[in-house]
Structure 1
């Protein structure tokens, strides 16, 4: 397609009075909770139209700084139409903060952590300022001296990188991002750091460093040593000398085992990242943003945005995509993101300097799985890989053309002369990088499309809306396919909602089952192949999770890591279904371990515990429920009713024992209440506490009123292997390197 210049009078400009955007039910919840500006009473003072118009005008206003005669209003209308048509959305801080006094619009930052107390705590302070403004932070802790190293100024010994990570984690916990998001961090340690074993195991306890994603920075020397089964050198970060050796294969196996257990840590390939560093004269890239898709130099930030491919489906075109419209959207989106760089108020002057020196942007996509559904192409197929490569190659080419056009209009990025592009025929460019495949968890909810390049996690699911009411939501393209096939009966939809997938539903035609695959239907290697297909045409990196079934082995994960290296990925995150709820037990002599087995670790009962006993009237008599606590949380339950020897007494004792086992095994009280609440019995009884249906219902009532403080009860039939959303109680889904809630938009990574 020929290059076209930006024109405010484009035929795609919106009408004189911008129409109100169409907002779906999920989007309304997300916008209201996280994006709309609020008054002193906490209630929204703008609607969706006001939000998008606020953002469009703030970003378009930058045009006047380059051309005072520019029709800013016309550009604002183009930006408004771009967002409200949901063809493109910028990252969350831009939607939240553009046109507000805060004005911090970047999604991600990388901060250096130097090997002195002053530098470490400067990084803690700077991170707090960034989290307060709505951004996430990435750190490399590789420059910190190893644990037990001598500290010259005091004669003492160093505590090592992991101990300081705990300080960063605690600081993050205390800072609420922009009043709407909790801080998110990435911690990276080089594989040749002497403390690498402690780092790999630092998240063994699920509550440890819970504001951090962690990744090991792998090198090509290490991967070669793994292949050869030999030792490699550990490096003292103070002077670059050898600090001993470590067997590469043993460390690789430890890394694989911990990822199998919990999904942490991920891996990044540092040599590959730095081969693509567009400004190597400014130093090596050592870290990424929290989800790993944006490698950055110290003090750099990046402004991200995503194009919704699902809306560019064109059934009358040769291959089902409107390439001309995609080119238009790419060019306008690049202009939007370049303006964001100038519109943003960064938390530190040094960040402002670095960002404007390199002017990195990251344009990516969302809705890819939806597009494949519309094209009737299975995600796990060569056709899908080919489409991925063609689309992202096109986006990258058009984005660079747009950046070159901006460079002619406004000048190249200031560090262009020292970049890898200097002296080449291509360029000059306005932006050192233009493309990134970023997470789109909440953005895809607003746009009503699938997340990033991920397959759907479920074709249909039920969502709690209010007061226990449940709403079944079905992917619209799957719904349409069922209707075309005459299969859209309520009982079919209900079965899909229960299962999430149609892979094993024989009443669904094979042709539909083959196209409408979900994340857990897809072999893990196809996840990886898809990531690699997009990475080949992406300047920065790709946010993607390789989902594995709970039955996946250590060998499966080891194979994924090796294949990621061979395919040219810049990193990889794996997630084995249910792994967060399991501990690993190993048997056999040292060095002769059997395959790990999933088992629950039951806490040992202390000699002395304290609690309370509550009497509850049931239809079978007075129930005396004793609940013993540890640290204010329920630890065990004893249920007594009637005299010993009676059947009802035995049942009460059995309930108490099983509830105690669950509590001591780490099952949350909310899950127990969800399982017991509402179980019917032969003698329900009305009383001031309400209608109690049975002994288990009475137990749930005591636990709910004592510990849940008005929280909603989650579905008692749901899987207990998935963590819950702290906002709405729905299951969290792990995709794009982070836990997110499909019901309300909550994301663990900010």
Structure 2
């Protein structure tokens, strides 16, 4: 190619350096990009391109775009090959395919020429950990990568090493070399999910050196028997571990550690633990992965009689990924401030002092990672009379604004943002303003852009919607009885209040069509993602604890349904069974599941006794009722192991079967704990004490709804268990399915009961961006000879969906259908079959590829009629912005998706995403 005489932009980036192929560093100069692009045009278009204004403008625009792409990376150095990849990508995106082909051929020719002329590679130098300049030991580098690849199929140590060597510069530091190894493996994850394990193992090596140096003063140490007792002592001295941990038999616990289990981590899981969970002092992590799991186990075993043995038992369950405790438990177990509970539910009274006391309680509960649900229904509405000042109330919105800002201010030590959800019953006079809280238009003083919101909907409202009847809104200071009543009692009181309003007996009220309000609820749900739709009556009619109070709301993620009052703040303690680890191609491993659930329930019950309670109302409630919420994750992984498509009757049946088994064993375990430790204090009078199990309470809901029909089939023998339950339960509630987003990442399985969002995508969270590939899909495509670069590019182009890819067989398209390819009715049907076995609720996201008012109406009416207690986010594929890259492109943003009116799956303000 001949040099071009085109004028070029001089778009520079101060401080950015380019790593040449020999490792030298030179300043970045965008002019050289323009020269290379100009040569490519000259090579194809000949002398006509010289002096062409069209070519000049094209080259200048592409050079600016490439420079901007480099700037977005926010790096200090970039390899020359990465810049050339971006230039190739820019030509392709601009439609200049002949020019791009010439550019590729030129690069290949230059590479061949360099290979033919290859002389011995010049010696590269690095700075070791002590800062000394030493030769780069390429053989040792290759050995590290080969060790990380050991035992993994279809990964190449040579490919990783080559990528690393191409990015190193002369004088690289030891820390930068470690990072380069990890990033080299990470960059190949899209080609094969096995590289996720390679990256994780290289990261584990770095973590081990960091922790050993911090605790023992020598990074090369590998013996956990030496490290672990010193780790405990170090953590206690730093004030980060409970001194009570020193009383354990530390040599025995150290001997029980399983360092080989580090190799089970995928990169996203281990990086998340390192960034947000491992203990650190002045930013230096001194906690190793297996020490982390043992620390959590020790914290949960503190009150056990045989605590060393129990700690090992708990450690085995956690480190195997068969069960995982919730994020607050993982954060705080074994520390001096063991706030281990996940969820808190409060009722805000109608009193100024109490309102601000409730907001203060939110801050205290959020401080140590609790997620909060507030029941705001008792607070009087806009225009209601205030006796003390003889004035009019401004309603709930100004107070919600304060609660919103409090949640943002309390950021849980930088680990995740505070998060709260406000609940309001549908008859409240402020409900229409409540619907608008998340809008981006209007008076910002009456908007809460960071707070989640949810409608608390009585059955009577849904019946009025069905009948196209009227609906009367009123203020709770005039009709306080409505807040506490459910079912037929609520119906009678509401109709009496309507009559009072019609007769002029209520000062503040408004009458509307129920259908009009319902449509507005659905419209706001689609437009802003809020408020969610949750159902008051099934939550109460089926509550085991109806004898001691009312369920006034759910929690931050809509899976907890516990009583609240002015003197009781409900608390729930969560953990999730990894269903994927309890399934083989032949079905559920019931014996293993029974063992896992028994130990998990013991761990959750222990949380209640070792927990730090930041407000007395929470302690009083939790010790009195002892609720826990055992859930599950990896549901879609389990389906794929069984070769069952989500959109099938078989999937609905498996949802029923698996949840029945978990429920049976959880209730059995609670009975066993009651035999050992005694029943919970408020057991007498509960549904349990009457022998009414969750599957039996479905009949109570059917009766309340005038003979509605629900599936009540069962596979297991519940008769004997009913008799045991009547003698005593340790826990008022046992089951709830939480979102599990972060703990499922740790375990490397699909989130909760969710269908896969995409089969190939980039996940963004507080730890960075991570390429995610469905490993089971890749394995099946390999068997059929379909996994290649073309398939990777097709998956990127089609947003991780197989449906549009013609060469993929129909059975694989069905099995690996993504969330927006699955009709949402299937999600509701599967959830309804689970719900009969659950004494609380489930975080149920609903997906709709082509939403409309009619479809939303039908979907949410189906959820109500199916007996669901709650729903969670609506994820509507209404408007997406997708950026795609080539396989070799250096800008590896595969599918950056912005979805209108939904949670994005990676929202740092959302507990579900953390």
> What range describes the TM-score normalised by the shorter chain of this pair?
0.7 to 0.9
CA distance in 1 between partners of 2:459 and 2:763 (Å)? 46
Indicate whether 1:393 and 2:648 are aligned.
no
Match of 2:86 in 1: none
* Of 77, 83, 86, the match for 2:318: 83
Query: What SS class does the counterpart of residue 837 from structure 2 fall into?
Result: coil
* Of 351, 359, 366, the match for 2:618: 351
CA distance in 2 between partners of 1:321 and 1:118 (Å)? 53
Indicate whether 1:721 and 2:898 are aligned.
yes
CA distance in 2 between partners of 1:530 and 1:46 (Å)? 40
Query: What SS class does the counterpart of residue 683 from structure 2 fall into?
Result: helix
Query: What SS class does the counterpart of residue 279 from structure 2 fall into?
Result: coil
Indicate whether 1:254 and 2:520 are aligned.
yes
After superposition, residues 163-312 of structure 1 pair within 5 angstroms as 163-205=398-440, 208-240=447-479, 241=497, 242=501, 243-298=509-564, 299-312=569-582
How many Å apart are 1:504 and its aligned residue? 1.5
Match of 2:296 in 1: 55
Which piece of structure 1 moves more, 43-52 or 539-548? 43-52
Indicate whether 1:119 and 2:358 are aligned.
no
Q: Is the 2:827–2:846 contact (alpha carbons within 8 Å) kept by the matching residues of 1?
A: yes
Note the alpha carbon deviations across 1:692-729, whole angstroms, 9 max, x for none: xxxxxxxxxxxxxxxxxxxxx98677456348xxxxxx
CA distance in 1 between partners of 2:690 and 2:874 (Å)? 44
Q: Is the 1:191–1:216 contact (alpha carbons within 8 Å) kept by the matching residues of 2?
A: yes
Match of 2:854 in 1: 555
Note the alpha carbon deviations across 1:80-112, whole angstroms, 9 max, x for none: 110111000011000000011121000110112
Indicate whether 1:510 and 2:810 are aligned.
yes
CA distance in 2 between partners of 1:448 and 1:53 (Å)? 19
How many Å apart are 1:246 and its aligned residue? 2.3
Match of 1:458 in 2: 758
C-alpha distance 373-423 of structure 1, shift in aligned 2 (>3 A): closer
Indicate whether 1:330 and 2:587 are aligned.
no
* Of 834, 837, 841, the match for 1:534: 834
Match of 1:17 in 2: 256
Q: Is the 1:139–1:185 contact (alpha carbons within 8 Å) kept by the matching residues of 2?
A: yes
Match of 1:442 in 2: 742
Which piece of structure 1 moves more, 192-201 or 401-410? 192-201
Query: What SS class does the counterpart of residue 295 from structure 1 fall into?
Result: coil
Match of 1:369 in 2: 636
Structure ranking higher in helix proportion: 2
C-alpha distance 440-460 of structure 1, shift in aligned 2 (>3 A): same
Match of 1:46 in 2: 287
Query: What SS class does the counterpart of residue 454 from structure 1 fall into?
Result: coil
Q: Is the 1:578–1:721 contact (alpha carbons within 8 Å) kept by the matching residues of 2?
A: no
CA distance in 2 between partners of 1:409 and 1:114 (Å)? 39
CA distance in 2 between partners of 1:465 and 1:167 (Å)? 27
CA distance in 2 between partners of 1:434 and 1:111 (Å)? 20
Match of 2:774 in 1: 475
Q: Is the 2:844–2:870 contact (alpha carbons within 8 Å) kept by the matching residues of 1?
A: no
Q: How many residue pairs align between the two structures? A: 588
Q: Is the 2:761–2:894 contact (alpha carbons within 8 Å) kept by the matching residues of 1?
A: no
Q: Is the 2:382–2:392 contact (alpha carbons within 8 Å) kept by the matching residues of 1?
A: yes
Match of 1:67 in 2: none
How many Å apart are 1:45 and its aligned residue? 2.2
CA distance in 2 between partners of 1:334 and 1:526 (Å)? 30
Match of 2:905 in 1: 740
Match of 2:159 in 1: none
Q: Is the 2:397–2:433 contact (alpha carbons within 8 Å) kept by the matching residues of 1?
A: yes
Match of 1:159 in 2: 394
Q: Is the 1:105–1:303 contact (alpha carbons within 8 Å) kept by the matching residues of 2?
A: yes
Match of 1:664 in 2: none
Match of 2:584 in 1: 314
Q: Is the 1:112–1:140 contact (alpha carbons within 8 Å) kept by the matching residues of 2?
A: yes
Match of 1:105 in 2: 340
Q: Is the 1:132–1:179 contact (alpha carbons within 8 Å) kept by the matching residues of 2?
A: no
How many Å apart are 1:210 and its aligned residue? 2.9
Match of 1:37 in 2: 279
How many Å apart are 1:503 and its aligned residue? 1.3
CA distance in 1 between partners of 2:765 and 2:403 (Å)? 36
Which piece of structure 1 moves more, 202-211 or 133-142? 202-211
CA distance in 2 between partners of 1:415 and 1:167 (Å)? 35
Note the alpha carbon deviations across 1:326-379, whole angstroms, 9 max, x for none: 111111111111111111111112211100111100101100100111111000
CA distance in 2 between partners of 1:493 and 1:745 (Å)? 32
C-alpha distance 715-153 of structure 1, shift in aligned 2 (>3 A): farther
CA distance in 2 between partners of 1:515 and 1:310 (Å)? 15
Q: Is the 1:93–1:105 contact (alpha carbons within 8 Å) kept by the matching residues of 2?
A: yes
TM-score normalised by L of structure 2:
0.61
